[in-house]
Amino acid sequence: MSTEQYLHGNLAKILVRTQAILALLILLLLAGLDFFFPTNYSLQAGLHGVSAISAIVAGTYLTHRAYALIRGVHVNFKSLRYWVLGSTALNFLGAVSGNWIYMRYRGENGPRDWILKNAPDFHNYMMEFKEFVTLFPFPLMAAVTFILFYYGDDIHVRRDLTQFVGITILVSWLFLLIGFVTGLVLAKLHFV
């Protein structure tokens, strides 16, 4: 490899990493600024938003790893185990902080009261759906984490098992995305 080729290769790597870090930081502002919103529930809102966005970012990255599992190509299982563990922890944080913010959602003169008065379908159909499906990613990713730690690197000899793990990661991501979008819509409709 010539020096020029090496520098160009390295430049691309630096740019990719810089883009990923900047995208993550800017995306986190979407919910991170909730901490400074003029409401008594800014801590709950900020925590839930930041954990949800972090879970989406980790979950989306994991979908790329999932395709490698499904195709049966070489996978670094050690790194994958830690990524799924981190994703599970973020999903758990999202569920716990979701419970916390849900208290205010249902509170007196909270978003639920306002939505039921002005746009009831968003509560009756969307929120009543969202509050349950957003609980799905944590147990699914907990199962994936358990499977990857339980089987260890030996799982690579069973293509059907690695495919199943990949599919479960994709399904978990889908529920995560549904929860994220519906949560954003409801927060836009009436903030806590």
Partner 1 sequence: MNQHPNNQSSVKNSDNKSPPVSGPLVAATLAPVLGFYTLMISHHISRVSKALDQLVHAYGYWIPGSLGNGPDGSIGSYSGKETLALMVWFLSWGIFHFLWRKQELPVNRWITLFLGSLAFVTLCLFHPFIDPILMLLLSTGG
Integer Cα distance of 135 and 156 in angstroms: 29
CB of 84 to partner 1, least distance (A): 13
Of 54 and 97, the one with the shorter C-beta distance to partner 1 is: 97
Of 31 and 155, the one with the shorter C-beta distance to partner 1 is: 155
Which spans of this chain sit near partner 1 (rule: CB under 8 A)?
Answer: 40, 99-100, 102-110, 124-125, 128-129, 131-133, 135-136, 139-140, 142-143, 146-147, 150-151, 154-161, 163-165, 167-168, 171, 175
CB of 178 to partner 1, least distance (A): 9
Integer Cα distance of 158 and 156 in angstroms: 5
Of 54 and 172, the one with the shorter C-beta distance to partner 1 is: 172
Q: Which residues of 154-168 are buried (b: 16+ CB within 10 A; e: fewer)?
A: ebeeeeebbebbbeb
CB of 79 to partner 1, least distance (A): 19
CB of 31 to partner 1, least distance (A): 21
| φ/ψ (deg, to 5) at 37 | -70, 150
Residue among 86, 164, 102 at smallest CA distance from 135: 102
CB of 82 to partner 1, least distance (A): 18
Of 28 and 104, the one with the shorter C-beta distance to partner 1 is: 104
Give 87's Cβ-side CA count (13 Å radius). Answer: 29
Of 3 and 40, the one with the shorter C-beta distance to partner 1 is: 40
Contact status, residue 105 vs residue 111, Cβ threshold 8 Å: yes
- Grouping H, G, I as helix, E, B as strand and the rest as coil, residue 76 is coil
